[in-house]
Structure 1
Amino acid sequence: MRYALQILILTLITVYAWRRAGQTEKRGALVMACLLLASPLYAALGAKPMRFEQMDMGYLVIDGLVLIAMTALALVSGKWWPLWFAGAQLIAFLSHFVRLLATSYAPFAYALMMRAPSWIQLAILALGTWFAVRDRRVTGATAF
């Protein structure tokens, strides 16, 4: 149910971004879609069900690749929100190393640290898109 809600929210943000916002917001929505679709695709390809008792290399790779994409977006954009977007992804990425280094780390805490940033990223993407649309309306600018 939570995953379906995330997909619905991302779909609404993506449609809004593609119709009204700039390239940065469109690219951010695309990266977020890749993140949300990669996990079930990885699971469908035969990954063990995520139990959070140990680090999963597949999810580490997914989070690492998405972190690279989000950081690249932040570096080429002149906007504030892609940096926050990448920062939230850094939390998800580092959660895997916390799990690896702290074997006594509670599985629930690992799951929360790994999954909660995606909700934060949706909020950041929505705010960034809204601000971009507002700025375009006010200034008529078509910022990157």
Structure 2
Amino acid sequence: MVNMGYAVVGAIFMVGMVLFAFIKGGPRERVGAGYLLAAWFASLLVQENNGFRGLPIGMFLIDAMSLVVFAALAWRAPQSWPVWVAGLQLITVMAHIMILTTKTIPIASLYTVMNLIGYLIIICIGVGTFWAWQERKAAAEYAPR
């Protein structure tokens, strides 16, 4: 029952940041937030499958595809948040690879790291949205009339 409270708070935080990105963000923020929301729903569908060596293969594929999407967003991005998000997502993919290669690390600790990195990714998108919003606001304020 206590675990359900954390899930609800996390879901509200995720949906709130995604709405903020859709309302105030630029194209990169909207794509990043939209993909993050789609990946979140997809991971809810595949998280119960134990897959190969205790690694849910569906989760690994979703996280690997997320790395590709965030790296594409970071390519020649004028802001720095997509680079941070791609780097954090790389840590998540490496945690999946650690599960495949070694059994001495508790799986629960790796899943905790992956969940915390998910929150950091949401925060990075939120900060990127805020700065994109402020830059557009400043550009409109100082534009010639």
TM-score (norm. length: structure 2)? 0.83
> Deviation digits for residues 32-57 of structure 1, max 9, x if unmatched?
102211111224xxx4369xx82221
Higher-Rg member (1/2)? 2
Whole-angstrom distance in 2 between the partners of 1:18 and 1:58: 27
Is 1:97 the counterpart of 2:97 in the alignment?
yes
| One-letter amino acid of the structure 2 residue matched with residue 71 of structure 1 | A
> Deviation digits for residues 76-110 of structure 1, max 9, x if unmatched?
52211011011111111110111111111112222
Give the deviation of 1:140 after TM superposition: 2.5
> Identity rate of aligned residues, in percent?
22
Residue matched to 1:68 = 68
| One-letter amino acid of the structure 2 residue matched with residue 80 of structure 1 | S
Structure 1: which 5+ residue stretches go unaligned? Answer: none
Structure 2: which 5+ residue stretches go unaligned? Answer: none
Whole-angstrom distance in 1 between the partners of 2:136 and 2:16: 19
TM-score (norm. length: structure 1)? 0.83
Q: How many residues align?
A: 136
When the two chains are superposed, the root-mean-square deviation of aligned CA atoms in Å is 2.1
Whole-angstrom distance in 1 between the partners of 2:140 and 2:82: 21
Whole-angstrom distance in 2 between the partners of 1:16 and 1:138: 18
User: Which of 36, 41, 51 is residue 32 of structure 1 equivalent to?
Assistant: 36
Whole-angstrom distance in 1 between the partners of 2:115 and 2:24: 29
| One-letter amino acid of the structure 2 residue matched with residue 84 of structure 1 | W
